[in-house]
Each structure stands twice: as C-alpha cells, then as structure tokens.
Amino acid sequence: MLRVPKVNLGSTRLKVSKLGFGTYDFGVPSLHVSPEEGGQILIEAHGLGVNFWDTSDDYASHPHVASALKSVPRREAVISTKTYARTGGEAEKSMENSLRELGTDYVDVFLLHFVQHDWVQACQKVLKHLATLKDTEIVGAIGLSTHSVAVVREAAGFEELDVIMALCCKASQKTIDKYHDYVPLEDGSMREMVTALKMAHEKGKGVIAIKVLGNAAQPFIKNHQSYIRSVAKLNFVDSMVIGMKNLEQVKKNIKALIIG
Ligand SMILES: NC(=O)c1ccc[n+]([C@@H]2O[C@H](COP(=O)([O-])OP(=O)(O)OC[C@H]3O[C@@H](n4cnc5c(N)ncnc54)[C@H](OP(=O)(O)O)[C@@H]3O)[C@@H](O)[C@H]2O)c1
C-alpha cells in the first residue's frame, strides 16, 4: 500500500509527511471544489500518510481544511497557514481569523507570505512578535515563504525563525529562465537556492520546497516523477508541498516520491 513517510520539520517538534498537500487550487473559483469535496480529498490523502496541509489566509481554502478536521483528529494533521500581514498586530489578527476559519484553536506552522528581499530585515520584527505567541500554544512554529535566495540566506540566521518555505525545483537553469512566470525565482540561481536551503537546514530550520512541479508548466508535468524524485533526494528538504486537485494526483505524486 502507498504510504508517505514522515520526517521531523527542522528542529521543531512537528512530524510532517515528505509530501505536503498544497490547497491553493481548492480556493480558485474556476475549479468549484466545495469545502466538503476538498475536505474529503484531504481525508483520503491523510489515509495515505499525507498529514501536512498547506493553506493561507488568501487561498479561500480554510473551509476545506476545516471540513477535513471534522473527520481527522486535530493532532493527526499538521496545518500551515500564511499571512501577507506586515506588522505584528496585523499578523496576530490574521492568525485569529485563520483559527476561526479553520475551526481549530492552534496552527502548527504560521508563515509570513512571499517575503521579498526588500522586506527581509524588517520582517524579523514581526517574527519576534509572533514568537511570543508560541508561549500561548496557538502556534507551533513560525517562519516565512519566499522566492528569493537572498531572503533564505538572511532568514537562516534569524534565531526566532523555525521554518522556511521556498521555491525549489530541480530544473535546469535554462528551463527556469524560460518558464520564469511559472517558477519566479526572485534573484540568484537555483543552484544557489539549493545551497542556501542546505545551509538553513544545517542551522536547524525546517525546509519546505514549493514549485516542485513548476506550477504545472508543461515540461515539469510531462516528467513529474523525475522532478519529484530529484527534490526528494535533497536530504535537507524536509517536505515538498505540491498543489493537487484530486486523489488521482495525490496517488501519482506519492508513487513518484516512493517508487520513482
Ligand atoms: N508561499 C508561497 O509563496 C507559495 C507560492 C505558491 C504556492 N504555494 C503553496 O504550494 C502549493 C503548490 O503550488 P505551486 O505553485 O508550488 O505549484 P506546483 O506544486 O509546482 O504545481 C501544482 C500543479 O501541478 C499540477 N499537478 C500536481 N500533481 C500532478 C500530477 N501528478 N500530474 C499532473 N499534474 C499535476 C496541478 O495542476 P493541473 O491539475 O492544472 O495540472 C497543480 O495545480 C500551493 O497549493 C500552495 O499551498 C506557496
């Protein structure tokens, strides 16, 4: 039977599946996945070992996660959500809204969304604020998501940061440059990103890869097995969050991860 292995997320106490479920697509209006349908897919994915579910305050997929949580015991799911908030107060408010929408009293991972290089130093202040919330146990781990090598390098040194979610796919630089709209690396090269993520992991940060399938750009989808396998081989990437729409994609991606 297909079953995804779980690993420690950096130095946190969280155990996440090597394949995480990206729920962005559930909230896209054109797709018409209802919270009940999306919730059912998450429940079945959980049955295959996918316990790590990624959402955000702007994905409109909190209700889908909330629906799944009616069947999956809360302690058996690791939920990450994000915010575009740029102050501690705004971030705290976003977290409160997210908890309400998710129907839970804590989130496992809370990330500042899409941090670009011009904000990385200032974002440390917001992370310091969020770190105080860890004492109240409404959040387990905090961090940021980014498309920038420079951000990964700097954020790896932030003491209060637990997790980095970053663009990381093993395509050639030529492919990445050609499909920049799908794989929007903000600066540097993919080789430099991989080195920066390795360094972050060595410092105890949890590392999560996104854009592993190039946001469904054709060359990536044609060879989805090899793209998934090549990221799975990076032992400093704890989990890869892949956007999925149905159980068929979940099973295909688990197979690629485990069997190749
Ligand atoms: N923090 C951030 O800055 C950030 C940014 C983007 C995404 N994310 C997170 O990462 C998740 C993934 O998004 P991404 O942009 O990184 O995209 P991705 O995972 O590289 O690609 C996802 C797309 O690939 C296709 N796909 C997945 N499995 C497939 C399979 N087995 N066969 C064929 N097609 C398959 C699906 O599109 P089709 O069905 O159309 O082919 C899906 O929408 C999001 O849901 C979200 O949770 C975070």
Is the alpha carbon torsion for 244, 25, 213, 152 positive or negative? negative
Residue nearest to atom 42 of ligand 1 (CA): 243
Q: Give residue 210 CA to ligand 1 midpoint distance, Å.
A: 8
Residue nearest to atom 19 of ligand 1 (CA): 242
pLDDT-derived band at 60, boundaries 50, 70, 90: very high
What pLDDT, on the 0 to 100 scale, is given for residue 148? 98
Residue nearest to atom 24 of ligand 1 (CA): 216
What pLDDT, on the 0 to 100 scale, is given for residue 43? 98
Inter-axis angle of helices 247-258 and 35-47, nearest 10: 30
Is the CB–ligand 1 distance for residue 113 below 6 Å?
yes
pLDDT-derived band at 20, boundaries 50, 70, 90: very high
Is the CB–ligand 1 distance for residue 210 below 6 Å?
yes
Average pLDDT across the chain, whole number: 96
- Out of 24, 28, 248, mutate this one to test ligand 1's pocket (max ligand atoms within 8 Å of CB): namely 24
* Domain 8-258 in CATH 3.40.50.620: no
Is the CB–ligand 1 distance for residue 25 below 6 Å?
yes
What digits encode the pLDDT tens for the residues 94-141?
A: 999 999 999 999 999 999 999 999 999 999 999 999 999 998 889 999
What digits encode the pLDDT tens for the residues 131-173?
A: 999 988 899 999 999 999 999 999 999 999 999 999 999 999 9
Is the CB–ligand 1 distance for residue 79 below 6 Å?
no
> Domain residues of the chain, as ranges?
8-258
Is the CB–ligand 1 distance for residue 64 below 6 Å?
no
Residue nearest to atom 21 of ligand 1 (CA): 215
What pLDDT, on the 0 to 100 scale, is given for residue 31? 85
Question: What is the percent of the chain where pLDDT is above 90?
Answer: 94
Q: What is the pTM of this model?
A: 0.97
Contacts 24+ apart (CB under 8 A), 194-198: 194/168, 194/234, 196/149, 196/152, 196/153, 196/156, 197/152, 197/164, 197/166, 197/168, 197/234, 197/236, 197/237, 198/234, 198/236
Residue nearest to atom 39 of ligand 1 (CA): 245
What digits encode the pLDDT tens for the residues 229-247?
A: 999 999 999 999 999 999 9
Asked whether residue 30 carries a pLDDT value surpassing 90, the answer given is no
pLDDT-derived band at 57, boundaries 50, 70, 90: very high
Q: Give residue 195 CA to ligand 1 midpoint distance, Å.
A: 23
Please tell me the total number of residues recorded for the chain in this structure: 260
Q: What is the DSSP letter of 41?
A: H
Is the CB–ligand 1 distance for residue 215 below 6 Å?
yes
